[in-house]
Chain A
Amino acid sequence: MATVDLKDAKKVYSSGVEAVKGVSIAIPDKELCVLVGPSGCGKSTLLRMIAGLETISSGTVAIDGKIVNAVGPAERDIAMVFQNYALYPHMKVYDNMAYGLRNRGTPKDEIDSRVRSTAKVLELSALLDRRPRELSGGQRQRVAMGRAIVRNPKVFLFDEPLSNLDAKLRGQMRVEIKNLQRTLGVTSIYVTHDQLEAMTLADILVVMNAGLVEQIGAPLDIYEAPASTFVASFIGAPPMNLLALTGGLSGPTLADGTAIGFAPADTKAATLGFRPEDADVTFNAKAPSGALVLPATVEAVEPVGAESFLHCAAGGVRIVMRVAGRAAARPGDQLRVVARAEKLHWFDKTGKRVG
C-alpha cells in the first residue's frame, strides 16, 4: 500500500556523533526490507528515523511518495513492533490492541470487530482479557504484532522483534511473520543483527556497517556476490573464509608463503575468499589444475547432524569447511582444501569486491 524512499538520510546527534552517514534505500510496495548489521551500525537509528522517533538531520524520508521529515510519528500511519514489545502493562490484551484505534476515533463496534478478527488470526482470542504480565514471551510477541496489524497501517516497522525469544520459538515466529507480511501485503522494514533471520525474511536485504550501507540486494545475490569483505564475513554462517594475499616474485602468495598458483581475477586483488561449502576436502595428494589447493591441518570438528564443520589451519589463518554428514577427519589430520577458481571471490585493499 506504500513505498518507502530514503534519500541520503543522515543522523547526527548533538554530541557530534554521526549514527547514520547518508543512506539511500528505495523499498517498493508490499516488500519486506531487512536492515542487518552488527550492533552500533545505525540500523535501529535508521528505523527510528523512519518511525519519526528520531529527527532526520539531513536528507529525506518519504512514505507513499510524500516526504515525512516534519510529520510526527502518529501522522505517518505506520506501526512498530518493539524489541521489548512495549505492551502497556496496565491494560488488558484487548485494550492494548484497541488503544491505537481509540486514539484515532474509530467507532466502538468497528474497533471490537477488528480487534477480534486480528486476535483470531494470531490465535490470541482466548487471551484478550489477560494482562501482559500473565502472558509468555511468545504470546507477548503476538500481542505486539496484533497491536501493529489491527491498525492496518501503510508500513510495518520491526525492531529486532524476535531477539527476546528462545531459538525454537524464534524459528516459528520467523515463518509466521513472513507469511503474515505476505498475506497482508504491507510494506515492512525489519531490523535484526541475526544474519539467518535477515536471509530468510528479506525481499530486499540491506547490509549496514558503521552508519553506511555496504550492500543492497536480494539475499541470495548478496550471498553469492558480496560487495565487500565485511558483507562476506557478515552474511553466511559459518562466514566466508578470507585469506590475505601478498605479491610474491612468481605471483601472489598467502600469508604463510604458499603460492596460489594462478593469476587472480583482478590485478588489484588483495584478499581471496571462498564459502565453507564451496571447497572440497580431500586426502588425495594430487592437485587439480585451475584450483586453489591449500594444505590444511584439522584443529576441531563440529558435527551438527546433517553436516559437519571442520576448523582448519591453512595458509597462515583459520578457515572453516562445511562437509556433508559425518566428517571422516579427526583433529590433527593433514588434508587438502580444493576450491575451484570460479568459486573464489576477490577483494581489493579497501575490501571492495573486484573481478
Chain B
Amino acid sequence: MTPRVIFPNKILPYLLVAPQLAITLVFFYWPAGQALYQSMLRQDPFGLKSRFVWFANFRKVLVDPAYLNSIKVTVVFSLATAIVAMGVALLLAVMAEKVVRGKGIYRTLMIWPYAVAPAIAGMLGLFLFNPSIGSLSYLLRRFGIAWDPLLNGTHAMILLVAAAAWKQISYNFLFFIAGLQAVPKTLIEAAAMDGASETKRFWTIVFPLLAPTTFFLLVVNTVYALFDTFGIVHAVTGGGPGKTTETLVYKVYNDGFVNLILGDSAAQSVILMIIVIALTAIQFRYVERRVHYG
C-alpha cells in the first residue's frame, strides 16, 4: 500500500478539488437533474404551460412501438459495430505484429483514422456508398448487387455499421497491439514446442490472454456505438429510410429538437443515462478483476 498523504489544512483539499467539482456540477449534475425534472413534465402544444405528470412520459415511451423499434435498431447497430470493429482490428493487429520491416509505419497508418471526426467519417462513407455518385456503390453494382441505402433499410444499416466501425478500428487496433505485446513470447514458443500450430496457438494461448483487452474493448465499443455515433447517423442516414436506422440517441434528438416533444425526449435520455450507468458499472467490476494474469 502507498502511504496516504494527509493535508494538515482542513479547507485546502476542498479548494483543490473545487474546480473539478464545479465542472461536474455545472455540466453533468445540473443538466441531468433538469432532464430528470423535464421527463416528468408535459407541455401544451404552444409551450405556454406545463403540467407535472410523474412517470406518465416513461410509460408512454416504453410502450411506444417506435421506441421499441429504436431499441432493436440500437442493439443490432451496436453489436454489429462492436463485432466488426473489434474483429477487423484484431485481424489487423495480428497481421501487423507479424510484419518484420516497417512495423512503425503500418501502426501509424492504422491509427490515423481515429483522428477523423465521426461526422466526417460518416460523410466519407456516404460519398463512397452514395447510390448515384459513390465509387464503391458503382463497384457493388458491377458485381450485381442492387445497392440502395436510400430506400433499403438493411443496406442503410450496413452502410452505417461500416462507417461507424471504420472509425473505431484504429482505436481497437492500438489496444490489441498493446495486448499482443503483453503476451510473453516464451509462452508462444512453449506452445510451438508443445506441437500447437499457429492457428491453434492463437486460439488456445494468445486469445485467452487477450481476454481482458477484448472485454474492455467490447464495453468501450458498445458505449461508442450506443452514444457516440450521433454524428454518423445524422450525416449518413438521418435515421432513415423510414425509421430503420433511428438509434436511441438519434431518437432523443429527433423527438426533442425536431418534433419538440420535450417530455418524451427527456424521459428517453433518462433511460439512456441508466443504461450508461449500468454499462459502466459492469465494465469496472469485470475489467478491474480480470486484467491481472500470470
Chain A residues with CB under 8 Å of chain B are 51-53, 72-74, 78-80, 82-84, 86, 88-90, 99-100, 103-104, 132-133, 147, 151
Cross-chain contact of A80 among B193, B200, B211 (Cβ < 8 A): B193
> B184 near A86 (CB under 8 angstroms)?
yes
Q: Which residue of B lies closest to A133 (CB)?
A: B294
> A100 near B195 (CB under 8 angstroms)?
yes
B194 located at the interface, meaning its Cβ lies under 8 Å from any Cβ of chain A in the complex: yes
> B196 near A90 (CB under 8 angstroms)?
no
Q: Which residues of A contact B184 (CB under 8 A)?
A: 84, 86
Q: Which residues of A contact B21 (CB under 8 A)?
A: none
> A104 near B195 (CB under 8 angstroms)?
yes
> A132 near B187 (CB under 8 angstroms)?
no
Q: Which residues of A contact B208 (CB under 8 A)?
A: 90
Q: Nearest 9 A-B pairs (CB), nearest first? A: A100-B194, A103-B195, A86-B186, A86-B190, A74-B195, A90-B208, A89-B294, A89-B293, A73-B193
B192 located at the interface, meaning its Cβ lies under 8 Å from any Cβ of chain A in the complex: yes
> B194 near A99 (CB under 8 angstroms)?
yes
Provide the bound-state CA to CA distance between A228 and B147, in Å.
Answer: 80
> B186 near A82 (CB under 8 angstroms)?
yes
Interface size class of B (residues with CB under 8 A): 20 to 34
B191 located at the interface, meaning its Cβ lies under 8 Å from any Cβ of chain A in the complex: yes
Closest CB in chain B relative to A149 CB, distance in Å? 13
Cross-chain contact of A90 among B186, B195, B209 (Cβ < 8 A): B209
Given A86-B184, A90-B209, A133-B294, answer yes or no on A53-B192 (Cβ-Cβ < 8 Å). Answer: yes
The 7 listed contacts between A and B (C-beta, < 8 Å) are: A52-B193, A53-B189, A82-B186, A86-B187, A89-B209, A100-B193, A103-B196
Q: Which residue of A lies closest to B201 (CB)?
A: A103
What 0/1 readout, one digit per residue, does chain B (215-250) give for beta carbons within 8 Å of chain A?
000000000000000000000000000000000000
B272 located at the interface, meaning its Cβ lies under 8 Å from any Cβ of chain A in the complex: no
> B190 near A82 (CB under 8 angstroms)?
yes
Provide the bound-state CA to CA distance between A147 and B195, in Å.
Answer: 12
Q: Which residue of B lies closest to A157 (CB)?
A: B193
> B192 near A99 (CB under 8 angstroms)?
no
Cross-chain contact of A74 among B186, B196, B204, B293 (Cβ < 8 A): B196
Provide the bound-state CA to CA distance between A78 and B192, in Å.
Answer: 11
Provide the bound-state CA to CA distance between A78 and B292, in Å.
Answer: 31
Q: Which residue of B lies closest to A75 (CB)?
A: B195
Closest CB in chain A relative to B182 CB, distance in Å? 11
B residues 9-54 touching A (CB-CB < 8 Å): none
Provide the bound-state CA to CA distance between A83 and B185, in Å.
Answer: 12
Cross-chain contact of B193 among A51, A83, A84, A88 (Cβ < 8 A): A51
Q: Which residues of B contact A147 (CB under 8 A)?
A: 190, 194
> B209 near A80 (CB under 8 angstroms)?
no
Provide the bound-state CA to CA distance between A205 and B200, in Å.
Answer: 38
B110 located at the interface, meaning its Cβ lies under 8 Å from any Cβ of chain A in the complex: no
Provide the bound-state CA to CA distance between A342 and B192, in Å.
Answer: 52
> A86 near B189 (CB under 8 angstroms)?
yes
Q: Which residue of A lies closest to B211 (CB)?
A: A90
Closest CB in chain A relative to B161 CB, distance in Å? 31
Provide the bound-state CA to CA distance between A198 and B182, in Å.
Answer: 33
Provide the bound-state CA to CA distance between A103 and B205, in Å.
Answer: 13
Q: Which residue, B194, B196, B211, B292, has most C-beta atoms of chain A within 10 A?
A: B194
Provide the bound-state CA to CA distance between A94 and B294, in Å.
Answer: 16
B residues 162-198 touching A (CB-CB < 8 Å): 184, 186-187, 189-197
Q: Which residues of B contact A78 (CB under 8 A)?
A: 193
Provide the bound-state CA to CA distance between A255 and B205, in Å.
Answer: 60
Given A82-B186, A132-B294, answer yes or no on A88-B192 (Cβ-Cβ < 8 Å). Answer: no
Closest CB in chain A relative to B204 CB, distance in Å? 8
> A133 near B190 (CB under 8 angstroms)?
no
Q: Which residue, A80, A83, A89, has most C-beta atoms of chain B within 10 A?
A: A89
Q: Which residue of B lies closest to A151 (CB)?
A: B194
Q: Which residues of B contact A86 (CB under 8 A)?
A: 184, 186-187, 189-190
Provide the bound-state CA to CA distance between A88 and B187, in Å.
Answer: 7
Provide the bound-state CA to CA distance between A104 and B193, in Å.
Answer: 11
Q: Which residue of B lies closest to A90 (CB)?
A: B208
Closest CB in chain B relative to A96 CB, distance in Å? 9
